[in-house]
Amino acid sequence: MTSTIRMITFDSRDGYALSKFWEQVTGYTEDPDDPNAPEHEENFIGPSGGHPGLLFINVPETTKTIKNRLHLDLTPETPRDEEVERLLGVGATLVADHRTPDGTGWAVLADPEGNEFCILRSDAERSASERADS
């Protein structure tokens, strides 16, 4: 037997605000039958199609003190560099830039509470690179 990932949970200082940030990153939405609210201890957003969603739970710790031991790698629909700029504009910060002059690599960003995630090349960028290598 195996287990299925139902959701990925973030411990948060402000789960509501963090869910709003991640809505902009992923395009996920709250459940219209159970909408998120600032006073909720738990705020959930998810995609359609039964894929795992993201749950943001308020916890009493006030600051992050260690590096993430788990992070998300995200493939944007638009070119990687455009997505990095878009996310910086909605509140992410650049933690490390591993993009290379030949167009490969990735960028490490952090959400407003310091949770790190990577922006990889888009599928179109990967396909173009593979065609060029052939």
The DSSP line for 86-127 is HHHHTT-EEEEE---TTS---EEEE-TT--EEEE---HHHHH
Q: Is the pLDDT score of 127 beyond 70?
A: yes
Dmax (CA) for the chain in angstroms is: 55
Where b means 16+ CB within 10 Å and e means fewer, 22-40 reads bbebeebbbeeeeebeeeb
Query: What is the average pLDDT across 3-19?
Result: 93
- HSE value, Cβ hemisphere, 13 Å, CA-based, for 110: 11
Domain chopping of the chain, boundaries? 1-61, 69-134
Are the C-beta atoms of residues 28 and 47 closer than 8 Å to each other? yes
Put residue 52 in one of left, alpha, beta given phi > 0 → left and psi -120 to 50 → alpha. beta
For the segment 64-95, what is each residue's pLDDT rounded down to a tens digit? 667 778 899 999 999 999 999 999 999 999 99
Domain 1-61 sits in CATH at 3.30.720
Tell me the pLDDT of the chain averaged across its residues: 92
In the block, residue with structure tokens 């959930």: 44
CATH classification of 69-134 is 3.90.1150.10, yes or no? no
For the segment 34-58, what is each residue's pLDDT rounded down to a tens digit? 999 999 999 999 998 878 999 999 9
